[in-house]
Amino acid sequence: MVYSGGNEHEKGVGILLDTEHSKSLHGYWPVNERILVVKLSGKPFDIYVIQIYAPTSEHSDDEIEKFYEKLDNVKGNLNTQDVKIVMVDFNAKVGNEKIEDTVGPHGIGDINARGERLVEWCGEHDYSITNTWFRNYPRSFWTWMSPGDRVRTKSILLSPQNAFEM
């Protein structure tokens, strides 16, 4: 378990690696309670996994912008030739309508303000919201349901827009 957050483990993000993949752990950087970077050895390129938990809608727009600035700084300091995978709970809804090469037709709900900001960031960095491009089985569509099943959300996985080109 690689973790980034407070001492009481009440806040933070983490990545759990099985025994086989933990042998590939080349390093990790706990940036803050919202961002963790893990580097895995790979061939021909190493792989950076950036694990993120974005501020919720209860946070101010200023806090959101500071979060994106920090994310830009972290991403900018990684080796450019290595693969970068961003795993995120952006606390955003990107909707279910295709937006250029960024959002596919298999998202959920309607896009919200946090989703618009995420789509903007992805466009600036040539990322696709990968799991909106693939249809899921109904039983695995949601990654979180509120008590009483009033709200459902789906986690977001980002990858470079050219990651699937052959």
**pLDDT averaged over consecutive 10-residue blocks of the chain (166 residues)?**
70 84 87 88 86 83 90 85 80 84 83 87 85 68 58 57 46
**19: domain range?**
2-160
Answer yes or no: are the C-beta atoms of 110 and 119 closer than 8 Å.
Answer: no
What pLDDT shows up at residue 7? 65
Q: Helix, strand, or coil here: 94?
A: coil
Residue 135 within any structural domain of the chain: yes
DSSP string, 16-65: ---HHHHTTEEEEEE-SSSEEEEEE--SSS-EEEEEEE---TTS-HHHHH
- Name the domain count of the chain: 1
- Please count the other Cβ atoms lying within 10 Å of the Cβ belonging to residue 150: 7
What pLDDT shows up at residue 112? 84
Instruction: Give the CATH number for residue 50.
Output: 3.60.10.10
Share of the chain above pLDDT 70, in %: 78
pTM for this model (two decimals): 0.71
Residue 165 within any structural domain of the chain: no
Rounded Cα distance between 108 and 97, Å, is: 9
Q: Helix, strand, or coil here: 72?
A: helix
